[in-house]
Chain A
Amino acid sequence: MSDSTEPVRTGQDFERTLDRSEAKVAEFETNRHSPLDRVQHILHDNPTLVPVIVLAISLIAFGLIAGGKFFSAFNLSLILQQVSIIGILAAAQSMIIITAGIDLSVAAIMVLMSVIMGNLAVYMGVPSGIAILVGFAGGAAAGMFNGLLITKVKLPPFITTLGTWSIFYALLLWLSGAQSIRGTDIDEHAPFLKFFGNTIDLAGARITFGSLLMVIVFVVLWYMLNKTPWGRHVYAIGDDKEAAELSGIRTDRVLISVYMLAGFVCAVAAWASIGRVGSISPQSFYEGNLQSITAVVIGGISLFGGRGSIMGALFGALIVGVFQSGLRMAGVDVLWQVFAIGWLIIIAVAIDQWIRRVSA
């Protein structure tokens, strides 16, 4: 100020620039710089939103491509019916993936239990109800076996269930003698096994009990995962197992219970599958393991655990069903259906990775 040539108004110099300075006292830093960031945040808070949007878009798109037939109540209920078994398996798979695990044996448990139910009820004259209960117990036991190997023997879930997949598969071949149980034999000796094949006709839609069962399974598991302490523990373990343990969660117990419950759900799927397929075949659902994982991943559940809603897996299964039905109706060759599902998986995981970066 001493070398100023106009000393007259020096006193007011700093005041003159005052209005250009920061007027706020303090504020929180915000990430909401662009609309894209805002979208990222919304998706982070609502992980099921992506699959819901994809499902809506694909329904509309296939409605336009494949015409009115696709959009009929009957076809939509048919899609629901076609995805019901993989959907139930995906519900079991979701729980496990939320704990940051994976279960490659879900379909093998399911087919094994359907063979056990069928052998008991059709060939050995055991009342159907008891045969089904034995199957349920078997499913839970198979799941517990997975859980014990993972927690007590401390094997990685991937390796454990890769092994038990083969074990359960070999057992089912042995028990079935690689033979199907015919639909007419089931009708004759144990029609109750086909209970979930019953249908309700409603305004052109044909809803099987199996489709309803799938929805019920998802709702019940959603409640358990989101509204009970057990469910919060499951998410906590998936997010950070050590932190969960330090905060007093008995992680081994919870993990074993998750695998047991998943095994039980697979056995429920086994009963439903008999109604759906009409017969019991050891050759059924060989790709069910991977299809269930596909549904979970497309449903926006993070393979890294702790994030995603089980409802996402329901939408994931439906998206796959809508794609298959839509592409088929549009007369697209099977290999392009496979191609499309592959891209869906990659895009779903890419979106998940992008959403996970939200806090950065």
Chain B
Amino acid sequence: MKKLITTSAFATIAMVGSAYAETTACLITKTDTNPFFVKMKEGATAAAEEAGIELSAFAGKYDGDVETQVAAVESCIAAGAKGILITPTDSRALVPVITQARDAGALVIALDTQFEPADAADATFATDNFKAGELIGQWAAATLGDQAANAKIALLDLNASEVSVDYQRDQGFLTGFGIDVKDPKDIGDEDDPRIVGNDVTDGSPDGGRTAMENLLQVDPDINVVYTINEPAAAGAYEALKAAGKEEGVLIVSVDGGCPGVKDVEAGIIGATSMQFPLLMASKGIEAIKNFAETGAKPENTEGLDFYNTGVELITDQPVDGIPSLSSADGLGKCWG
């Protein structure tokens, strides 16, 4: 018995020792272009330095670049990484390689985007994207008041592949607005007459502008515009301005990047749901450190299949019953 204790104590010391000496971790993001992931990388790098973890960062070349992410995970396995933080660019395609990494003894944490199934990773630290959408939907409905019944809604989504972030925000928004979404995983199956149409933006301002122009052609009287993120919202605003329709149209978005919060301040975006990439990154590093030291894995938020890093509604026109921050407060918390 005594011998057993000694041995395990010794083993623990050895483990802790090696943890301090050479805990390596990987951060794999979707792209290096999106400021959201750039900020996440900065947060992770800072947190890793503080925790004494050696962090290698990888990124896909574009949204949906599965091959580069697979290669990155393989490099991390080969390097013997203790933990992998990943924002999967495809919720399903990366599951096999992630399973390999877990079999090799690494703690895998999904950041921002969940795997399908969510338990393919040891944990997920993410924004509740459905909630983020729901908040701006509720805000838009409350702001319109009685007029919500006659709203004409444009939905500017991400891309044709309908990844989880895309449908969660879109369907969350519609739910918050009070529209029956039918299948909550399918964008565009709704038949509410208030919806003018959906179009895709690639989350970029040029895509946002073109999509908005197209939907204005379908119905020039659109007065509520949901956008997948703030760059798309900026493009949508340009299209509305070009058509002379920027007054009286509510644009709502999700992200909380500093340019987006400034657009809230300028009255371009009515409200945006802010998420916290820095928190995801630092929580992730913390979890890897903890795992390396004690072997304990992080737990999910109660009632969800992920750890919720929170979301805040940013608007300068607050409505009763929906807690929100002003753009001035938002500027202190924004990323990018």
Contact = CB atoms under 8 A, between A and B. Distances in A.
Task: Pick from A173, A182, A325 the residue with the most CB of B within 10 Å.
Answer: A182
A329 B216 CA distance: 10
Contacts of B197: 331
Interface stretch (A213-221, A261-269, A271-279, A346-354): A271-279
Interface in B194-243: 197, 199-200, 202-206, 209-210, 213-214, 217-218, 231, 234-235, 237-238, 241-242
Contacts of A81: 213
Contacts of A278: 205, 209, 234-235, 237-238, 241
Interface stretch (A34-42, A301-309, A333-341): A333-341
B266 A78 contact: no
Nearest to B239: A278
A281 B217 contact: no
Given A199-B242, A328-B199, A281 B160 contact: no
A360 B188 CA distance: 52
A180 B231 contact: yes
A259 to B, nearest CB: 24
A228 interface: no
A284 B213 CA distance: 17
Given A182-B263, A331-B197, A334-B160, A285 B206 contact: yes
A333 B188 contact: yes
B333 interface: no
B241 to A, nearest CB: 8
Interface residues of A, number: 37
A184 interface: yes
B33 A282 contact: yes
Contacts of B235: 277-279
A183 B238 CA distance: 8
A180 B34 contact: no
Interface string B134-175: 000000000000000000000000011000000000000000
Most buried by B among A173, A197, A279, A331: A279
Nearest to A286: B62
Contacts of A183: 234, 237-238
Contact of B33 (A69, A74, A173, A206): A173
Contacts of B263: 182, 184
B160 A338 contact: yes
B38 interface: yes
A78 B209 contact: no
Interface in A214-266: none
Nearest to B207: A284
A232 to B, nearest CB: 37
A329 B213 CA distance: 11
A226 B266 CA distance: 50
Contacts of B35: 177-180
Nearest to A177: B38
A325 B214 CA distance: 7
Contact of A178 (B34, B160, B234): B34
A329 B217 contact: yes
A352 B218 CA distance: 36
B33 A283 contact: yes
A329 B199 CA distance: 11
Given A178-B35, A328-B199, A334-B199, A276 B206 contact: yes
A82 interface: yes
Contact of A277 (B34, B209, B262): B209
A178 B32 contact: yes
Contacts of B34: 178, 283
Interface in A45-71: 69
A182 B62 contact: no
Contacts of B181: none
Contacts of B213: 78, 81-82
A178 B242 contact: no
A214 to B, nearest CB: 15
Which of B62, B237, B259 has the most A CB atoms < 10 Å from its CB?
B259
A75 interface: yes
Interface string A17-42: 00000000000000000000000000
A338 B234 CA distance: 25
B80 interface: no
Interface in A157-177: 173, 177
B31 to A, nearest CB: 8
Contacts of A184: 262-263, 266, 268
B233 to A, nearest CB: 11
Contact of A283 (B204, B209, B210): B204
7 contacts: A78-B217, A178-B35, A180-B35, A184-B268, A197-B242, A276-B206, A279-B231
Interface of A: 69, 74-75, 78, 81-82, 85, 173, 177-180, 182-184, 197, 199, 206, 273, 276-279, 281-286, 325, 328-329, 331, 333-335, 338
Given A183-B234, A276-B209, 8 more contacts: A85-B206, A184-B262, A281-B231, A283-B203, A283-B204, A284-B204, A325-B214, A328-B199
* 10 A-B pairs closest in CB distance: A278-B238, A283-B204, A334-B160, A178-B38, A284-B206, A335-B160, A277-B206, A328-B214, A283-B33, A281-B205
Interface of B: 32-35, 38, 62, 159-160, 188, 197, 199-200, 202-206, 209-210, 213-214, 217-218, 231, 234-235, 237-238, 241-242, 259, 262-263, 266, 268, 336
